[in-house]
Structures are given as C-alpha cells and as structure tokens.
C-alpha cells in the first residue's frame, strides 16, 4: 500500500490480493480453526508473537483481521480489535482499564445502555462512575479525579442531543492525572473525526452504525492510539506476568507491558477479553463491515448535507420547539463543531415537538419514508422517541438535565432524496397537529 490517504485506505487498507488467490474483494474465511503448521509455529501463535498467523477464530480470523487492520490504518492506531457489538467494545475496554476496581469519570448525556452500564452494572464489578452534568466543564471533571480514578470516558458527539466533547481539554486533564481518555466515536466514524489527533488514548465504536452504514450487522471496535503508558502502579494488570505470554524470548518478565510495549492495551483486549469473555465478531459480519466501509466518505458527505437541510427545515417549523444539531451555525456548540468536525457532525439530529405525547405518537405512526426503529447510521432514514426506546434506562431525575423529554424525537438521516425526507416529516407533523 503506497498511499496513506483515507479514501484509498478504506478500499485497499490491510489487504493484499496477491496473498489471497488474487481475490479482489476480501474472502470470507469461514473457519473456526486453522492448521498450526509446525509445533514451533504453533507455540508462537499461541503466545501472540507471530503476526498474520491464525489458530482459532475466537482470538483472530483473517477476514476479521482485514477489517481490524483497515480501521487501524484509517485511525492511525497501533492496534484494533473487532468485537461482536458496540456494547462489547465499551465493556471490554472499561474492564481492561479498571479491572479489579476503580472509578471512571463519565458524562450523563450518553447512550442509554452505556449510561445504565456505568450507573448500575459496572459497580457490581467494583468499577464506579463519577458522573458530571457537562463533560466540557473541565473544572468539574478535574474536581472528580481521585486516587483510584482509572479513566475519563465520553462520546465525541453525544446520543441523542449531539453535544460535542472537548477532547483536547479532556485529554490534558486525563494525562496530568496519568489516566487515559476513552472516546466513543460512534456518531462521527473515523471519516468525520479522529479522536487520536486531539489526544484521546482509546477509541471505541459501535460499528453497527455509520462504519457499516447499511443496518445489517451488530458489531463493535476498540482502537488503541498507543500513546498511553500503562506501565504504572495504577494499572498493575499490565505488569503482572501473564502465563499465556511466556516464551523463550520472554521467560522472566512476560507481562503485557514488557512483551507488547505500546500495544499492551490492545493485545490484552485480544488475549484476555476476546479469548476469555469471547465477544468475537464473526467473519461474515466483518465482510459486511468491509463492504459498507468502502463507501463511508460518500455516504457521510451526503448524509451530513441532508441532515443540515433537515435541521434547518425543523428549526423553521412552528410545531418544533427546539432542534439539537451542533452543526447548525446558531448552535452554542458550533465553535466546537468547527474545531473538531469541519466535515460535519454526522447524520443524527434530535428535535422537541411543541405538542403532546399523543401528537408525538401520531407523528411516529404517520411517517412513510422514515422507519420507526432504534438504530442510527443506516442508509435508510430512521426515527425514534429516545425516552420510550433507546434511552429508557436514564433515571427519571436525570432526564431534564439531559434534555430528554417525552416530546423528543431522534432522526438518523440516510441516503434518500432530501426533499422526500423533508416532505415526509412535513406531512407527518401536519397529521399530528390536524
């Protein structure tokens, strides 16, 4: 591969047809296991020290490997692991960082299942969340750092109100405290934003969304920027000798930090979390991801342009109380949008209907082009009422602060004709208020 440009890498990155019977598109290696060759080769594969060598598809598979390598090249990371869902990416990452207990600083306005996991589920494993109302209130974030704080976590563009995180400011605070910054970059995809450019350490994705772009796979990704030093007392899991890494070369100090250096985090994800918790992506799913990824730039350019048109239309509709789309020039976050997301903030926007809950239901029952379903980043345009469906886990006393009302509707804009989408919303709003 001679080019490092995004649009070439998304088509060719991480794959060599010459090593695959000259197959132009990536073959699906539908194998549970691979012959190890010689005994010595088998030992090296088992220790994770031989690249592009496979033994068992729970740990690595050639088709999944191309998807991982391609995302890694697009992200400028030191390693990427694909997993079976976005939630698996978040779970594996938080456990790998805070294994054995600790605290994570988290904003409250994030995806409902993520919030539920931080609020009620991680604590059962000794990992507690210190929530902040506004992740960009850097003084508040800093005030939450305690001796056992293990990371700061945020969504680059939040679900569903598209708040943009000040990644650079957060990275500075995290690094002063010698903890990593973890960014869920699902809404942006690597095409619109590379959080590593602004100091993030680990990036997670639900690649179910814009990376795939066609709503036909559940999948997730963990990408390691390789800049964070895990070899400190706060993260002993990286310094412990790890039995599976013992080899001729590493017979004394066979810890993840010593064996893998800059790749310690991502290799530990693969060799502990994929191998033991087993949330692995299957080869056919990886193939569909690769197919979707080939058109990511064109899809997102069109979706961003249509989203902006729809946000403007909604801003002028008398039945709409408020539009949440940080890409609108009148948004209080427009400055952050320009800094972090010059190509656009993405294809998701939300709005508050100036009506009753019954009128919201009528609107949902009246759309004809928009599909009423809980997903985003599809080629089809989607609509959902977050408080009833995707964010129902948000505690009642938190909803107002997150702008989650019974009248809030979230849109994910697809590839249809923008005039048809506006006409569809217009007729559905008219019906709701008839």
Ligand X SMILES: Cc1ncc(COP(=O)(O)O)c(C=O)c1O
CB atoms < 10 A from the CB of 426, how many? 14
Q: Which residue has the tokens 């990644």?
A: 167
In which element (H, E) is residue 41 found? helix 39-46
> Does the protein bind ligand X through residue 412 (CB under 6 A)?
no
Residue 160 beta carbon to ligand X: minimum distance, rounded to whole angstroms: 8
Single residue of 59, 218, 277, 371 touching ligand X by CB under 6 A: 218
Report H helices in 316-353.
334-340
Residue 137 beta carbon to ligand X: minimum distance, rounded to whole angstroms: 21
Residue 166, φ and ψ in degrees, nearest 5 = -80, 80
In this chain, which residue has its C-beta nearest to ligand X? 86
Residue 165, φ and ψ in degrees, nearest 5 = -80, 140
> Does the protein bind ligand X through residue 213 (CB under 6 A)?
no
> Does the protein bind ligand X through residue 85 (CB under 6 A)?
yes
Quick one: which segment of 17-25, 80-88, 278-286, 290-298 binds ligand X (CB under 6 A)?
80-88
Quick one: which segment of 66-74, 79-87, 121-129, 275-283 binds ligand X (CB under 6 A)?
79-87
Quick one: which segment of 82-90, 248-256, 308-316, 397-405 binds ligand X (CB under 6 A)?
82-90
Q: Is the CB of residue 348 less than 8 Å from the CB of residue 178?
A: no
> Does the protein bind ligand X through residue 346 (CB under 6 A)?
no
> Does the protein bind ligand X through residue 206 (CB under 6 A)?
yes
- Of 195, 187, 152, 146, whose CA–CA distance to 170 is shortest? 152
> Does the protein bind ligand X through residue 87 (CB under 6 A)?
yes
Quick one: which segment of 60-68, 83-91, 332-340, 398-406 binds ligand X (CB under 6 A)?
83-91
Residue 186, SS3 per DSSP: coil
Q: Is the CB of residue 50 less than 8 Å from the CB of residue 65?
A: no
> Does the protein bind ligand X through residue 156 (CB under 6 A)?
no
> Does the protein bind ligand X through residue 36 (CB under 6 A)?
no
Q: Is the CB of residue 225 less than 8 Å from the CB of residue 200?
A: yes
> Does the protein bind ligand X through residue 184 (CB under 6 A)?
yes
CA angle 409, 414, 419 (to 5 degrees): 85
Residue 57 beta carbon to ligand X: minimum distance, rounded to whole angstroms: 20
> Does the protein bind ligand X through residue 220 (CB under 6 A)?
yes
Residue placing its CB nearer to ligand X in the complex, 115 or 421: 115
Residue 236, SS3 per DSSP: helix
Strands 127-132 and 102-107, by their bridges, are parallel
Q: Give the tokens for residue 250.
A: 């590493």
Residue 155 beta carbon to ligand X: minimum distance, rounded to whole angstroms: 5
Residues in region 89-128 near ligand X by CB under 6 A: 111, 114
CA separation for the pair 429, 407 (Å, rounded): 12
> How far does Cα 133 stand from its chain's mean position?
21
CA dihedral (89, 350, 340, 296) in degrees, to 10, reads 60
Residue 163 beta carbon to ligand X: minimum distance, rounded to whole angstroms: 12
Quick one: which segment of 2-10, 84-92, 171-179, 298-306 binds ligand X (CB under 6 A)?
84-92
Residue 25 beta carbon to ligand X: minimum distance, rounded to whole angstroms: 24
Contacting positions for ligand X (CB under 6 A): 85-87, 111, 114, 155, 159, 184, 186, 206, 208, 218, 220
């Amino acid at each position: 591969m001679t080019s490092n440009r995004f649009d070439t890498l998304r088509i060719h990155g991480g794959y060599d047809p010459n090593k695959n019977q000259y197959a132009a598109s990536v073959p699906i290696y539908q194998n549970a296991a691979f012959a190890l060759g010689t005994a010595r080769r088998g030992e090296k594969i088992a220790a994770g020290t031989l690249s592009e060598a496979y033994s068992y598809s729970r740990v690595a598979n050639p088709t999944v490997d191309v998807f991982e390598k391609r995302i890694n090249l697009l992200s400028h990371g030191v390693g990427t692991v694909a997993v079976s869902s976005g939630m698996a990416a978040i779970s594996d990452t938080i456990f790998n960082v805070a294994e054995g207990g600790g605290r994570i600083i988290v904003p409250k306005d994030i995806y409902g299942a993520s919030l539920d996991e931080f609020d009620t589920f991680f604590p059962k494993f000794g990992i507690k969340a210190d929530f902040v109302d506004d992740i960009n209130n850097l003084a508040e974030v800093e005030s939450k750092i305690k001796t056992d704080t293990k990371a700061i976590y945020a969504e680059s563009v939040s679900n569903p109100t598209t708040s943009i995180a000040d990644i650079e400011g957060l990275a500075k605070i995290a690094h002063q405290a010698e903890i990593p910054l973890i960014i869920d970059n699902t809404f942006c995809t690597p095409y619109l934003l590379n959080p590593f450019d602004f100091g993030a350490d680990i990036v997670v994705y639900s690649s179910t969304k814009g990376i795939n772009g066609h709503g036909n796979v559940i999948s997730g990704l963990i990408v390691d920027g390789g800049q964070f030093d895990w070899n400190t007392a706060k993260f002993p899991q990286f310094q412990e000798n790890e039995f599976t890494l013992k080899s001729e070369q590493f017979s004394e100090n066979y810890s993840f930090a010593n064996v893998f250096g800059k790749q310690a985090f991502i290799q530990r994800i693969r060799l502990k979390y994929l191998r033991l918790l087993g949330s692995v992506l299957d080869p056919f799913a990886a193939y569909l991801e690769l197919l979707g990824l080939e058109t990511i730039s064109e899809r997102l350019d069109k979706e961003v342009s249509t989203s902006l048109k729809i946000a403007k239309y909604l801003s002028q509709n008398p039945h709409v109380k408020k539009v949440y789309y940080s890409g609108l020039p009148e948004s209080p976050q427009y400055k952050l949008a320009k800094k972090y997301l010059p190509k656009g903030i993405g294809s998701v926007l939300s709005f508050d209907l100036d009506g009753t809950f019954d009128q919201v239901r009528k609107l949902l029952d009246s759309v004809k082009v928009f599909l009423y379903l809980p997903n985003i980043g599809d080629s089809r345009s989607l609509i959902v009422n977050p408080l009833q469906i995707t964010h129902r886990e948000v505690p009642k006393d938190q909803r107002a602060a997150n702008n989650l009302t019974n009248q809030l509707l979230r849109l994910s804009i697809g590839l249809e004709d923008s005039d048809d989408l506006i006409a569809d919303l217009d007729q559905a709003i008219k019906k709701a208020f008839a």
